[in-house]
Structure 1
């Protein structure tokens, strides 16, 4: 279920056009046959913008009660909150921070609390679920503004989009330092069936990217001439990790769906290569032998 909340009219028209050509990954059926699109453009009434989010989550609950797993994508809750602010102002209610209504946090909590997996009532044994994905558009990229701050307190997973990554055409443009998931502890048993080293590999990959970021700050201050082979190797290996593993294309048949076993083997191969290079450099082998 896609909710275009306060979107521009031409953007919604583009979404409707693109959806007609998309196919489901597990079959050749059109994606539109199992999708619901709620189009609420920016030139529609403010009340309709507020109602669009509730309409989408209610439709999702209908299919969840039928035993389906439903994904709700709301774009964006920031414009929905702006509608709440405008309606609250017209009703002459007491404003909160930045003019938003004082009940903004409770409204967001009511919305996100409707997600989850349930066993439905009735004679048939059915289990359905709702997964909510909401886009937030903080003005000026300010993560301390009320909508972003309240959402971060409620959501268990956060993907921070980085403008610099998008400018370099690195997609998905997800910042790997600011993004997080609080479900990793719950999923450890599932990932351990793939391999027991999964958690360690993820930690090693993050450590490599973090080390590269620290070296970038040093290079920006002093220059790249002071770097030794080991530090230059960190740059090259982090570049490989970003370009060969993190960089993906949702429109490529290989990247659109990747089995978890393949993902694990790709990451393991890159990090094994990292270990080999590091050991060779420590043994005195120059970096030019490899690049």
Structure 2
């Protein structure tokens, strides 16, 4: 993989030494080569699909794009190739982009993929072919193909799983599986089984992902971060435990991750 000449090797507040990086990876420069678009799904897809998306790129030399972990199952079609299912990703993944290309996708609502892919945990951190046709080169075409394969109505258990994930998303004070189970009116073990079948990961991971999402959102916005205060707000014992969790999830420390965004002061 070609690398740029920017040398970012330096000690950082989270104890990391940043490696020499591809200059396109720093300060949001990758955005010069990529265009991202999100679209709302139509009424028929809305119960199952959170959003449709398109990414186009133009790179003279190959670029390794890091994609953060996702709690959604995605349906994608790259450069008109047959569509593929991508399971929930529990850590960041790297996709190599080169030349000009385009990928369109549909992000399913967490909890709603079971009717389309089978037990969702079996697809976690993996992907497989759908058996679909080539030529789905835009989001509307992918949406129509997916719509033809949907059941008439959502499964009640899927709706229950989706509602549990929505509770985690909407209530930042939910930090323990036992508390989520109580809110859902079920035993934690039943919640674990429900998430394995319909979400693809356990409720503890989903809670952790949504709480840490606040960290990455703030870094992406370029806002100053007080790590000690943020750790306290998110229920961590101290800054070190928060940074450890972010690093485990993203595969790099927060400061290294933040370097890919426009200039931000990381306190």
Q: Normalized against structure 2, the TM-score is what?
A: 0.26
Q: Name the structure where helix makes up a greater proportion of residues.
A: 1
Q: Name the structure where strand makes up a greater proportion of residues.
A: 2
Q: Determine which structure has more spread, i.e. the larger CA radius of gyration.
A: 1
Specify which structure has the bigger relative contact order, considering alpha-carbon pairs within 8 angstroms and separated by 6 or more residues.
2
